[in-house]
Amino acid sequence: MDILIIDNYDSFTYNIAHIVRNQPGVKLTIIKAGEIEPGNINRWHKIIFSPGPDLPRPGNIMERILDRYAASKSIFGICLGLQAIYLYFGGKLIHLDEVVHGRTKTISIIGKADGIFSGIESGFSAGLYHSWIADPDTLPEQVEITAVSSEKRIMAIKHKTFDITAVQFHPESVMTPCGSSILINWINM
């Protein structure tokens, strides 16, 4: 299976790559966000939007990939990737009063623990590195919340019909002990 990571210029990308690359049958490619066009992505089966600094800006590569492949590719967003997906489908973001970098929070799964959360128990610990979150008051109709933090902040979403899922926390972080399992679950979906 060919998997592409869109690297949004974040050092965590290589932690994600280490987990993904070590799965049987996976051929992984990493391309910087500014070095690829959506038309050149057709050969990959699955796409990961990596974390990154700043905010998803209008016209960014993740938005352009979603324009072209939302209905046909399996896409997994992490942190900035979740924010890009949430914005794309019509949600808005909220700037936090307090930056949440290098903090561990308890994450509760909403509903059935399937998909990326298959075999994961609700109430797991996850590492957070963000200053913006998805605004639950602007939840797009086609998006479902699948996990929240102890403060009830959106920590995971999935599209109701497309094969698109995303997490606000960092599954590749050592502060997310079940993070490798979450990534592997997505690979096997």
Q: What is the mean pLDDT of residues 12-27?
A: 97
Domain segments of the chain: what residues? Answer: 2-188
Q: What is the mean pLDDT of residues 49-67?
A: 93
Percent of the chain scored above 70 by pLDDT?
100
Query: For the chain, how big is the Rg over CA atoms in Å?
Result: 15
What is the pLDDT confidence band of residue 111, given thresholds at 50, 70 and 90? confident
Rounded CA separation 100/83 (Å): 15
Pairing of strands 46-49, 74-78: parallel
Catalytic residue ranges = 79, 170, 172
**Rounded to 5°, angle at Cα 127 from 1 and 66:** 45
pLDDT higher than 90, residue 99: no
What integer pLDDT is reported at residue 64 of this predicted model? 96
pTM score = 0.96
Element (H, E) at 64: helix 61-69
What integer pLDDT is reported at residue 139 of this predicted model? 97
Rounded CA separation 11/8 (Å): 9
One of 3.30.460.10, 1.10.150.530, 3.40.50.880, 3.30.565.10 is the CATH number of 2-188, namely 3.40.50.880
Beta carbons of 2 and 21 less than 8 angstroms apart: no
Q: What is the mean pLDDT of residues 44-65?
A: 94
